[in-house]
A = this chain, B = another copy of it.
Amino acid sequence: MPKSIQNSDDPLFNFNKEIIDATAEFASAFKVNLAFYEAHGLAGWRALQKTFEYLPDDVVKIADAKRGDIGNTAKMYADAVFKELQADAVTVNPYMGFDAAEPFLRDETKGVFFLCLTSNPGSQDFQHFTNGREKLYEKVAATVKSWNTKGNCGLVVGATHPEELSGIRAIAGDMPFLIPGIGAQGGDLEASVKNGASRAAAFFNSSRGIIYASNGNDFVQAAAHAAKQTMQQLNNAR
């Protein structure tokens, strides 16, 4: 963050406000990563709530929370993101199975993106575990499809795996994807658009590539420029 923001009274929110104002015209959605607020305790949660309140009405508000726990606990996590933060969608970890997922799915107006094949190197450790016919991430895609009775399920698939995106799209039908990794993580934007967004909606996420485009006093202009460029690259690849 630039020094002028760091020295302000509420750096987290003030930074977000500037970024939102500068980039909203180029964005279909904003993904807010809860970890970066929790790390600041109470002040962080206050900034998190203010940020969700500040987001414009015409963007999809995604709480990137990667939660997942047994049913009675999952209900509380769903309340935290959908009622407290008023998010439109959330990211959820599928490891604990259906009863951990179901409380997030009760409100058909709220979207749930389940981790399928993530953008990080560690996605190799378990997500590729295979029985010879099907890998774990493919089983997750097929299982989430079977959970999608209200039409509010989606999948997280990293842009760092453009080859696998085609296969997951074939399994998932028209479920929307949340595709991180096109910014700082170096994912393949063009191939990801072709393979992930050809038959159905996909949200492409760039975080650090936009918000940290500059840490100088020109950070607002740099973020706007990076957001516009990302939007143009995505549209050109369609």
Chain A residues proximal to chain B, CB less than 8 Å: 33, 35-36, 38-42, 44-46, 49, 64, 66-71, 73-74, 76-77, 79-80, 83-84, 93-101, 115, 118-127, 129-132, 136, 139-140, 143, 185
Contact = CB atoms under 8 A, between A and B. Distances in A.
Contacts of A74: 35
A94 B68 CA distance: 12
Contacts of A44: 80
Contacts of A132: 131-132
Q: How many copies does the complex hold?
A: 2
A120 B102 CA distance: 13
A118 B139 CA distance: 19
A121 B99 CA distance: 7
A136 B129 contact: yes
A121 B125 CA distance: 24
Q: Shortest 3 CB-CB distances between A and B: which pairs? A: A97-B122, A97-B125, A38-B80
A42 B83 CA distance: 13
B96 A123 contact: yes
A140 B46 CA distance: 36
A218 B156 CA distance: 47
Output the residue of A41, A71, A84, A139 with the most chain B CB within 10 A.
A41
Given A35-B73, A35-B80, A136-B129, A121 B95 contact: no
Output the residue of A70, A76, A115, A118 with the most chain B CB within 10 A.
A70
Given A45-B41, A119-B70, A129-B136, A35 B97 contact: no
A143 B120 contact: no
B42 A42 contact: yes
B77 A35 contact: yes
Output the residue of A76, A127, A185 with the most chain B CB within 10 A.
A76
A183 to B, nearest CB: 12
Contacts of A67: 35, 66
